[in-house]
Amino acid sequence: MLQYAAIVLIMLGLYGLLTQRNIIKIIISLNILEIGLNLFIVSVGFVTDGLAPIFTSINNSNHLLFVDPLPQALVLTAIVIGVGTTALGLALAKKIYQKYGTFEIDEMGEE
Amino acid sequence: MKNFLALLLTLFLGFLIVATLGNNNFFPAYGDVDVTTRVSQKYIDRNVNGGSEEVIYGQATNLESGPANTITAIVADYRSFDTLGEVTVLFVSSLGVALLLGGAKQKRLELNFKPNFMLKVGSRALFGIILMTGVYIAIHGHLTPGGGFPGGTMIASSVLLLYLADDEFRAKLKGFKMLESAAGSAYVLIGLAGLIFGGYFLVNLLDNGVLGNLLSAGMIPIIYVLIGLKVGSEISGIIDNFLTEEGV
Amino acid sequence: MSAILLIVVPLLAAFVSILFKKASSYILLIVSFASVVTLNYVPLEVINIGGFTAPYGINLVLDNYSLIGLYIVDSMFFLVIALNCIKFKKLSTILLVSLAGLNGLLLTGDLFNLFVFLEVSGIAAYLITTTNKKPLATFNYLVAGTVGSSLYLFGLIILYGMFGTLNMADMANEIAISGVSANALAFPFLLMFIGLGVEAKLLPFNSWAKGILLSANKLTGPMIASVYAGATLFVFGRILTTLFIYSDQLVLVLSVILIVGIIAGETMAFSSKKIRGVLLYSSIAQASLIVMLFVLGITGWATMMIIVNIVSKFIMFSIASHTNDVLGTDEIEDVQGMFLNNKTIGVAFTVAALNISGLPLFFGFIVKMNMLTDLFAKDGYFLAAVILITSVIEGIYYMRLILKLWFTDKIAPKIKFEFSFQYVVTILAVLLIVFGLYASPVIALNDEVEDTIVYEGGIQ
């Protein structure tokens, strides 16, 4: 179920990237694509009835059944990289607005 | 017409992905994963380099990797090179935003609303609470979920609160730049110290302590605090660059 | 001397240099020069980071292939910096991070680490292209690069779900012993191919290249078209040979994409009116050709082809961008005869162009000849025919370009090239001629590379 939702989000992001002509909407579609991808990565590591991989006073031994911790670590990195790219994209959007006065690609005549 | 074609293409791609993954015998169904066949089992057992200690909360001492939070052990110990790359990505992004939007003289952006006095005063109180939460999460990264990255972002969000609540507030950017540079260099220098004294880059040099205590896991809390400070100062710098414009 | 210093020292220099703004360009020069020098002293080894053996930790692989890649990319990087650093002082920190990212790309042996370094060098590249002053083109580059990396990560995660490891050598091992059919692997491999192909400018994923390179300046042109293109192709080569197992469908799909790329690239170069346009489409066609050679397993000559391309495109893009800076245009009709007043530059440009088209007496000719020989040995007749036909087209448009730039009946434009620039360009051109006449070190190098790269994937 979760994997289907993740794939739907990825496809939504791709559809947005293919059809939208507004800079801000393109950035939003890119973010939706990345969220779907991160969700998919986490879902690859899920174990039914597994516990969160943190040793606490209740779950205190390594013989218990834990979910896979590696995809979660990968997602941590991927989220931060996505944030960096989005910040740069928005700064470029502000520069584009200062130069052309609009966010619609079709109205920016000269390239 | 173009929208319809794009819709068809994405629907087709979606079905293709679902069908391929479903037919793939090696790709496990959702929830059916056997962790022991993957690399992660050794991360949970903390015996990548051999060793046969039982990992018991509150009793195991000086394990191969100290944090009680296995994900922190992966991010900051086993695969800390990826974390170094991630920190670099944020560094370059914040530098790039400053390059694109910064300038010599900047003033706050003119907005259409003016916050009132109650908001300005009340936000200062809230600022302290949010800052404390961020610091707590960054320091306890080896015991609870979170760590340096969410902690640093919360610290930056407290700065954002002050920017939104007060239309004349500007943070001291010079101090942030020094903090960012010092924290980043310290991370790389810790790694180099590992290379010189331990033979490998980013080896954990301090003792790992008892699993589950606050003062455990060697250098990892220190690394996470450094990362938290770096992320906080970088995102605060980005916020400042977006909310200012040319002028005096 | 450990190879990890090649990545760590530029990073440390980058973190420190934001405090010392005035000295940052000197730091950049010193560090990039030091990285070229260090390459002579590093032993060939596999480095485990943190002391954790692969596949549980990340490892860096320094073998003959990476060493050649590092030599070429770092030397070209140093040359681009040396010719440009005075004008682009504000970018010094970003260029240091870019150096660290490129070295990391070439050294790493872990697939997720490759994704991280792809993003690091990618973000540095986006910022380098902002010097073109065309924010919309940079934005398109950013979107394309991010989508490419995301698709690569998607393919990687499917592979992790199937085999449970992230290390390149370990994953190749697991694929070999698990007996999985090549058809099941085709989909994740295709995703990874598309992801890396966006960055490597393969047609049809190259929507960003036109915007960036058609208006490239002296820093962006050589950096993106020569240094970054070379590094990405080296990485592509490593993945295509160590990891991929080819099923018939996958080879068919990839061949179609790549052959379309070669043909379309050459025809678009033929009909282009600006010097930089010709170079850009030629780069796309060459990149598709090199990747096709890697897919077929002719790894040594593909590597040599990358070297030819990097050096030649550096020379030609620098000359074309400088022309544009001085004259304001690089339309071929407007700059006719410009080599009459700049004979050394003209000779260097001619040498570089003839190298790529593969005329005799040059390095490019040796590469092309041996490559075609190997292709015939592997029964790749269709591809060899495509290469021969496109070589003819290439020869025609390069000849036409060179003739127009040397001879004119109008007044020749006068452009001043700095002496250091002429010096560098001449040395590189001379190197290209020397290796064309003395083939034996080249063939020895090719054998070294072929021995190192164990071609795991075969056409099955």
Write the ipTM: 0.95
Chain A residues touching B55 at Cβ < 8 A? 55, 61-62
Cβ contacts of B178 within 8 Å, gap of 6 or more: C19
B86: which chain A residues are within 8 Å (Cβ-Cβ)?
76-77, 80-81
pTM for this predicted structure: 0.93
Cβ of A17 within 8 Å of Cβ of C147? The answer is yes
Inter-chain touch A23–C139, beta carbons under 8 Å: yes
- CATH code of A41's domain: 1.10.287.3510
Q: Which residues pair with C108 in a beta bridge?
A: C60
Domain annotation covers residue A110: no
Residue B129 CA: distances (Å) to CA of B125, B158, B159 = 7, 9, 12
Beta bridge partners of C246: C459
Contacts of A70 in chain C (CB under 8 A): 160, 166
Six-digit token pair at C424? 């560098």
Instruction: Report d(CA C155, CA C164) in Å as an integer.
Output: 13
| Within a domain: B230 | yes
How far B202 CA lies from chain C's nearest CA (Å)?
Answer: 5
Provide the shortest C-alpha distance from residue C162 to chain B (in Å).
5
- A 10 A CB-CB count for C182 gives 20
Is residue C370 a contact partner of residue C358, using CB atoms and an 8 Å limit?
no
User: Is residue A86, in this structure, part of any structural domain at all?
Assistant: yes
Largest CA distance in chain A: 65
- Chain C residues touching B201 at Cβ < 8 A: 2, 4, 8, 47, 49-50
Distance separating the N- and C-terminal Cα atoms of chain C: 42
Provide the residue type at A16 as one letter: G
Q: Give, for all 460 residues of chain C, the pLDDT tens digit.
A: 778 888 889 999 998 888 888 888 888 888 889 888 888 888 888 888 877 777 788 888 888 888 888 988 999 999 888 888 777 888 889 999 999 999 999 998 899 999 999 999 999 999 999 988 888 889 999 999 999 999 999 999 999 988 888 888 888 888 888 877 777 888 888 899 988 888 888 866 667 888 888 888 888 888 888 899 899 999 988 888 888 777 778 888 888 888 888 888 888 888 888 888 888 888 888 888 888 888 887 777 888 888 888 888 888 888 888 888 777 777 777 777 777 777 777 888 888 888 887 777 677 777 788 888 888 887 777 888 888 888 888 888 888 888 887 777 666 667 777 777 777 777 777 777 777 777 667 677 777 777 666 554 433 3
Å between A102 CA and nearest CA of chain B:
17
C12: nearest CA in chain B?
A: B185
Q: How many CB atoms lie within 10 A of CB C138?
A: 28
Q: Which two tokens stand for residue C420?
A: 């250091």
- Residue A12 domain-assigned (yes or no): yes
**Domain ranges across chain C:** 133-452
Beta carbons of C57 and B201 less than 8 Å apart: no
B95 shares contact with chain C (CB less than 8 Å): yes
Q: Which domain holds residue A91?
A: 2-47+67-102
- A60 domain-assigned: no
A44 interface with B at CB cutoff 8 Å: yes
The CA radius of gyration of chain A, in Å to the nearest whole number, is 19
Question: Count of domains in chain B?
Answer: 1
Chain B residues within 8 A of C178 when measuring between CB atoms: 26
- Strand positions, DSSP E, B85-232: 106-108
**Domain span at B113:** 70-246
* Residue B65, domain member (yes or no): no
- Total structural domains within chain A: 1
State pLDDT tens for residues C380-426.
Answer: 778 888 888 888 888 888 888 888 877 776 666 677 777 777 777 77
